[in-house]
Amino acid sequence: MDTVHARFKEKIGEVLLPGDVFSFRLPEDGEGDANIKTEKIICGPGLRRNGEEVQVCKSGILRHKQPNLYWIDSQQRRYVPAKGESVIGIVIAKSGDIFKVDVGGSEQASLSYLAFEGEEVQVCKSGILRHKQPNLYWIDSQQRRYVPAKGESVIGIVIAKSGDIFKVDVGGSEQASLSYLAFEGATKRNRPNVQVGDLVYSQFTIANKDMEPELVCIDSCGRANGMGVFGAEGLLFKVSLGLVRRLLAPQSEIVKDLEKIFPFELVVGMNGRVWVKAKTVQQTLIVANLLETCENMTSQQRQTLFRRVAEGSL
């Protein structure tokens, strides 16, 4: 009996074009190809299975590997990552526990320093070992120096204006640049009101060791989405990057416990800066001190302290 693979065999080694379709639909009248046996095939890069059809997505040579793997070997210049493929990458930056690797695709890949195989796993810096299901482990360190990373949101301080660019201090080894057009609704005529000394909550679009970091105050849709100039009042202070991750965690226990004491506004940047504002200056200072105190406390110690503050015994 014929198989679906026979449909491909005569095309193996030949050039296929996008739009070519191989159909494995059995005829309803029982004639012609009624003896075709439907078998499972694995479509590799360049092929897409759509029901009883296999569509060619890009031009190239049809290749085959036993028993049932088919793919298109194209001469494309740009690499498209695929799961399970081995590549040669160039490490171009390091962000915390993650290496940024250039693999020749449209974006950088991430590589954890714990993702190396071998009989031993070496710890590279001091900190607390954390675990996330199913098999992710990392070191939660208390590093003080922030290393910018693309996509991270930070609290910056505008320290200078150079032409159409604002220079922003983000706590890293160098200043970041922020264009006046990187605000929602900004145009050449309608410029944002940004002054030296203002706080800006922004996001990195470029962050690697070979280029000056660049910030924006809009998302991919051009909306501010909570970013921009803020902090006319309130208090700005620094905490460790480890505490920042705890504060930014979904359903953070620290934030939930604090909200039971005082209502307050909170802005947390991945660069270790925290801005807080409560109803009064006294409450603002209390919240800031409690956040800094949480650094080395256990959950039970923190709840005991917060309860004493809420009761007014401190």
Question: Is 43 inside any structural domain?
Answer: yes
Cα(222)–Cα(241) distance, integer angstroms? 29
CATH number, domain of 160, equals: 2.40.50.140
Are 185 and 241 within one domain?
A: no
pLDDT tens track for 291-300: 988 887 888 8
Question: Is 214 inside any structural domain?
Answer: yes
Q: What per-residue confidence (pLDDT) applies to 32?
A: 47
> What pTM does this model have?
0.57
User: Is 69's pLDDT higher than 50?
Assistant: yes
168, 202, 230 — which closes off a domain?
Answer: 230
Q: What per-residue confidence (pLDDT) applies to 300?
A: 87
Question: Is 84 inside any structural domain?
Answer: no
Phi and psi torsions of 302, nearest 5°: -65, -45
| Residues of the domain holding 102 | 90-140
b/e for 251-282, b at 16 or more Cβ within 10 A? eeebbebbeebbebebbbbbbbbbbbbbeeee
73, 100, 124 — which closes off a domain?
Answer: 73
Question: Is 81 inside any structural domain?
Answer: no
What does the block give as tokens for 128?
């607390």
How many CB atoms are located within 10 Å of the residue 48 CB? 11
Are 222 and 179 within one domain?
A: yes
CATH number, domain of 253, equals: 3.30.1370.10
Mean pLDDT of 249-278: 90
Residue 132 amino acid letter: K
Question: Is 85 inside any structural domain?
Answer: no
User: Is 158's pLDDT higher than 90?
Assistant: yes
Contact between residue 263 and residue 208 where contact means Cβ atoms under 8 Å apart? no
Percent of the chain at pLDDT exceeding 90: 22
Using a 10 angstrom Cβ sphere, with 0-12 exposed, 13-18 middle and 19 or more buried, the burial of residue 164 is exposed
CATH number, domain of 42, equals: 2.40.50.100
Question: Is 48 inside any structural domain?
Answer: yes
Mean pLDDT of 53-78: 79
Give the C-alpha distances (Å, rounded to integers) separating 235 from 23, 232, 259, 274.
67, 10, 17, 8
pLDDT tens track for 269-296: 999 999 999 999 999 999 999 998 888 7
Q: Please, what's the largest Cα pairwise distance for the chain?
A: 90
Question: Is 145 inside any structural domain?
Answer: no
pLDDT tens track for 181-215: 999 988 888 888 899 999 999 999 988 777 889 99
Q: What per-residue confidence (pLDDT) applies to 1?
A: 39
Helix (H/G/I), strand (E/B), else coil: 310: helix
Mean residue pLDDT of the chain comes to 81
Phi and psi torsions of 257, nearest 5°: -65, -40
Question: Is 290 inside any structural domain?
Answer: yes
Cα(70)–Cα(51) distance, integer angstroms? 16
Q: Number of structural domains, the chain?
A: 4
